[in-house]
Amino acid sequence: MTVGKTLWKVIFIKLIIMFGVLKLFFFHDFLGTKFNTDEQRADYVLSELTMSVQMHNSSQGGER
């Protein structure tokens, strides 16, 4: 087999594994699959950012 054919085989198999297996079954877009709109995604990320503040506030509330 010529080197060209071998390389085409390697490329083909690699792309199948990457897009047909890894992307399809293991690498979902986390925010894309969890939420339907950009507004929901923005809200979620904002809540992740401010989670520390909310935890701080709730722990202070608990102390009182």
Partner 1 sequence: MIENFDLTMVNWARAQFALTALYHWIFVPLTLGITWIIAFYHTIYVKTGSEEWKNLTKFWMKLFGINFAIGVATGIILEFEFGTNWSNYSWMVGDIFGAPLAIEGIFAFFLEATFFAVMFFGWNRVSKRFHLFSTWMVAVGSNLSAVWILIANAWMQHPVGQAFNPDTARFEMQNFAEVVFNPIAVSKFTHTTSASMLFASLFIISISSFYLLKGRHVLMARRSIMIAAVFGLLASAFVGFTGDEAAYEVAQQQPMKLAAFEGLYKGETGAGIVALGMINSKKQVGDDQDGFNFEIRLPGLLSLLANRSLSSFVPGIDDLVYGNKEQGIMGAGEKMEKGKVALAQLDTYKKAKKSGDEIAAAAALSVFNANKDYLGYGFLEKPEDAVPPVAMSFNAFHIMVALGTLFPLVFLAFLYFSIKGSLQQQRWLLGGGTIMFFLGLIAHWAGWIVAEVGRQPWAIQDLLPVTVARSNLTAGTVQTTFFMFLILFTALLIAEISIMARQISIGPKEN
* Tokens of residue 37, six digits: 């709109």
Q: With contacts defined by CB under 8 A, how many residues of the chain interact with partner 1?
A: 33
* Tokens of residue 56, six digits: 């701080």
Rounded CA separation 21/11 (Å)? 15
C-beta of residue 35 within 8 angstroms of C-beta of residue 44:
yes
Please report, as residue ranges, which positions from 19 to 48 form the binding site for partner 1 (by CB under 8 A).
Answer: 22-23, 26-32, 38, 41-42, 45-46, 48
Is 16 a residue that touches partner 1 (CB under 8 A)? no
Instruction: Name the residues that contact partner 1, by CB under 8 A.
Output: 3, 6-8, 10-11, 14-15, 17-18, 22-23, 26-32, 38, 41-42, 45-46, 48-56
